Amino acid sequence: MKKTLAVLLATAMLFGLVACGSNGGGSSQPEEKTEQIEQTEQGKVFNIYAWNEEFKGFFEKYYTVPEGVTVNWIINPSDGGVYQEKLDEALLNQENAPADEKIDLFLAEADYIGKYVNSDYTMDVTSFGYQNADTMYDYTIKAASTDDGVCKGVSFQCCPAAVIYRKSIAKDVLGTDVPEEVQAKIDSWEKFDAVAADAKAKGYYMTASFAETFRAFSNNCTKPWVDENNNLQFDDQITAWMDQTDNYIKNGYTLTAGVWDTEKTNEMFKDGKTMCFFGPAWYYNFCMTNAQDPDNGCVGDWCIVKGPQAYFWGGTWLLAANGSDNTEMLKDIFETFTVNEDVCSKLVENENQYPNNTTVVDKYANDESYGNTSILDGQNDIKVFSELAKDIKWENHTNYDQLLNEGLQNKLQEYYKGSVDKDTAMKNFYNYVKETYANINVPE
Amino acid sequence: MKKLHQAENRKNKSISYAKWGYIFIAPFFIAYIIFTLIPQFLTIYNSFFETYRDGLTQVGPNFVGLENYKALFTPEAEGTIRILKYAANTMIMWIAGAVPQFLIAILLALFFTSTRLNIKGQGIFKTVIYMPNLIMAAAFSMLFYTLFSRVGPIQALLEQWGVIDNNFDFFSHTITVRGMIALMNFLMWFGNTTIVLMAGIMGIDQDLFEAAAIDGANSVQVFFRVTLPLLMPILVYCLITALIGGIQMYDVPQVLTNGRGEPNELSRTLVMYLNGYLRNKNYGMAGAISVIIFIITGILGGIVYKILSAQYKEGAAKHRERKGNVI
């Protein structure tokens, strides 16, 4: 009897080992299958990985799904790298997954797109007949291309970012709310800081979050977060941001809330006391819902200007997953959101987006009658953004940007709240980096 | 010959009973081996390797011996060993929640089982105190986060009453964050402990309480001389399970502080530390931490068991002695 038991247990153990063994095998690189795929029949299930509902909304409104195809959205939050973790798991398992469970399309953000583009888990867009159009912004193509120039996806938006200011507060602080005159008063960081002091004197905040200006600095970095020997390095822009923020917190020019915190977005209500917000076109819908509140909002009290430093922020790229059996649909989706002028125009008019299509952009930028009234005072924001979009360059990005930017802000926030000193905050940040990325060397 | 045959038969019969016994317990052991024992050995095995993911590429596994453990116990420039800091955080928060948890649970269990008080509507009370345990820990700490956040109702109320000023932030003070976590753990678990302890008290022979009453013992004496010693086995069980749960404290502080363990990582627990390494599938370091948690759990569990069961044995021996004297 003991023998039977022993056999039983041994089988169980073996089963366990085999199960683990096959799992481990999943991490091998998927083979290049793109050639075959072109001939195969199209799948009936289309799986999309995303970190929020933004693109889902546009997709459902402006894209007609072919008959008989079911679209599955798998949405995981971006915060803390959760989305990347879930996506990585699914991609590593892509080869073994049944056709209907394979990822067809996934979304990626500027902060980590390189990780997926420079891997075999994404597919060359020309393999299914998609051609990048001349109307697309170069940096959006460069971001989605490997170092050898093989393009793996597209972006449906371009993300030049601006200073979005409250007109009524600007009038009080600067004596004017006309964009050109406001711009002249805040066109360098020195001037911006000086205005912050004036705003404070009148009882206003310059910005509503310690990290509000972070992107304006960090997207102008001249060196990446990590050097060629994997050493963590601080660009002058990052240190400049830290110095500015130290100053702003000390003088009460800003709040200790994070960029996404309720405490900050509450400042966009009618009775908010904050003059400037920093963001691109997607910021309107994404962060400024309080400003659009029918009772307590302040639609029309906003204008945009370039501000002290041109920059861009974020952007959502659609990447074609290697192994997809819905390549025709992929091509169709890519075309709908990049070259279809009708859809791109609707993105501008109905969704406050800045599309990745220069023809459409120019149409609105040169249209005297066009103005944004859903948030702004009727100012032609597309015109402002189109000037800023010309200068966007794609450089100095690493695969680690999202969690490094997020980690630095989180750890420094404790310092700005006064619960730790700056050295401790930095030490906590280094420890966080060590934990998150074993291969990055941090200063001792 | 016949006798021999009979004996053989009997032997077979007894063996076949044993067979059924093994078959009935086999599912548990199979599940235990597959889902607990093998992963446990794999964890220990992994802890000797450098293995993590850089983006989508797997690094390692490279055998590094005890390097992972060495890294865990290497003090930083100013002398803190981080794993000890997190272990201390975990223990402080657990004790702060467990002490009221057990005191209240014992008190409630006594009230509910007391024949003298004979509380009406016990069913409702028992359901209500058990309720917090039914809510998911994550949802419960989300609720606390919303209540105590900078824009939450508690902040507004206390500001209005002038208890705190506008700059106060519940999440940047060690005592408030740890207090919230302890409070949540207490609220979630005291009901459960009460129910288990009640079962323990109800299992005690009523004759003993009667006898104590006839001898003129007051309720304090009855509690310390009769209830507590006889409740000891259940109490030890509750304490050890609570301790194991406490060392693995994760969801409440993780959700409450959004994984940051603020302020200054003073509400960061061991398992939150472990999870930091799992972000990039660093099974080597995470494995080493798991092994250390396993060892700590073993040692603390052993200590609690030793102390309490020694007292219990002592009490039981005394009890027997006294009983002998009476006879």
φ, ψ of residue A190 to 5 degrees: the values are: -60, -45
* pTM, two decimal places: 0.81
Mean pLDDT, range B240-264, rounded to an integer: 89
Please say if the pLDDT value at position A162 is more than 60: yes
For A23-67, write each residue's pLDDT tens digit.
333 334 444 444 444 445 788 888 999 998 888 989 888 988 888
What is the DSSP track for B156-188?
HHHHHTTSS-TT--GGG-HHHHHHHHHHHHHHH
For B135-176, write each residue's pLDDT tens digit.
888 899 999 999 998 888 888 888 888 888 877 888 888 899
pLDDT on residue A33: 44
Residue B54, helix vs strand vs coil: strand
For A198-231, write each residue's pLDDT tens digit.
999 999 999 999 999 999 998 888 888 988 888 8
CA-based nearest residue to A209, from A170, A268, A263: A263
Give all domains of chain A, ordered by start, each with its CATH number. Answer: 43-158+314-365 (3.40.190.10), 160-312+378-436 (3.40.190.10)
Q: What is the DSSP letter of B53?
A: E
The dihedral over CA atoms of A337, A340, A342, A348, expressed in degrees to the nearest 10, equals 40
Top residue of A95, A419, A422, A426 to mutate, by most chain B CBs within 10 Å, is A419
pLDDT on residue B35: 93
Q: What residue type is B155 in one-letter code?
A: Q
Please say if the pLDDT value at position B8 is more than 60: no
Please say if the pLDDT value at position A310 is more than 50: yes
Please say if the pLDDT value at position A14 is more than 50: no
pLDDT on residue A23: 39
Q: What is the DSSP letter of B36?
A: I
Q: Does B146 touch chain A (CB under 8 A)?
A: no
Q: Kindly report the nearest CA distance between residue A437 and chain B, in angstroms.
A: 7
What is each CA distance from A50 to A76, A108, A282, B224, B252, in whole angstroms?
Answer: 7, 8, 16, 60, 27
The answer for residues whose C-beta is within 8 angstroms of residue A110's C-beta and 6 or more apart is A143, A159, A312, A313, A314, A315, A317, A397, A401
Please say if the pLDDT value at position B321 is more than 90: no
Please say if the pLDDT value at position B93 is more than 70: yes
pLDDT on residue B59: 83
Mean pLDDT of the residues in chain A: 85
Q: Using 50, 70 and 90 to split pLDDT, how confident is the model at B117?
A: confident
- For chains A and B, what is the number of CB pairs under 8 angstroms? 101
Q: Kindly report the nearest CA distance between residue A404 and chain B, in angstroms.
A: 13
pLDDT on residue B11: 52
Q: Which helix (H) or strand (E) holds A57?
A: helix A54-62
Q: Which residues of B touch A419 (CB under 8 A)?
A: 172-173, 262-264
For A62-102, write each residue's pLDDT tens digit.
988 888 888 899 999 988 788 988 898 888 888 888 888 88
* Distance of alpha carbon A130 from alpha carbon A137, whole angstroms: 16
Mean pLDDT, range A289-312, rounded to an integer: 89
Mean pLDDT, range B322-326, rounded to an integer: 55
Mean pLDDT, range A348-363, rounded to an integer: 88
Sign of CA dihedral B38, B39, B44, B45: positive
Pairing assessment for the beta strands A311-312 and A316-320 based on DSSP bridges? unpaired
Angle between helices B174-202 and B122-134 (to 10 degrees): 140
What is the DSSP track for A91-110?
HHTTTTS-GGGS--EEEEET
Q: Where are the domains of chain B?
A: 2-46, 76-326
Q: Helices marked H in B117-170 — which ranges?
A: 122-134, 137-148, 153-160
Q: Which residues of B touch A417 (CB under 8 A)?
A: 169, 172, 263
Pairing assessment for the beta strands A70-75 and A45-50 based on DSSP bridges? parallel
pLDDT on residue B12: 53
Top residue of B28, B50, B56 to mutate, by most chain A CBs within 10 Å, is B56
Please say if the pLDDT value at position B15 is more than 80: no
Q: Using 50, 70 and 90 to split pLDDT, how confident is the model at A10?
A: low
* Distance of alpha carbon B52 from alpha carbon B279, whole angstroms: 9
Please say if the pLDDT value at position A12 is more than 70: no
Mean pLDDT, range B290-301, rounded to an integer: 89
For A129-139, write each residue's pLDDT tens digit.
888 888 888 88
For the domain with range B76-326, which CATH number is right: 3.30.565.10, 1.10.287.70, 1.10.3720.10, 2.120.10.30? 1.10.3720.10
For B61-70, write each residue's pLDDT tens digit.
888 888 889 8
Query: Comparing A4-8, A255-259, A294-298, B16-20, which segment has the lowest mean pLDDT?
Result: A4-8
- Give the side-chain half-sphere CA count within 13 A for A237: 18
Share of chain A above pLDDT 70, in %: 91
Please say if the pLDDT value at position A328 is more than 90: no
Share of chain A above pLDDT 90, in %: 24
Interface contact A419-B29, CB threshold 8 A: no
B56 vs A9, A121, A437: nearest CB: A121
pLDDT on residue A82: 87
Burial category of A64 from C-beta neighbours within 10 Å (exposed 0-12, middle 13-18, buried 19 and up): exposed
Token pair of A83 as six digits: 């989305």
Q: What residue type is B104 in one-letter code?
A: I
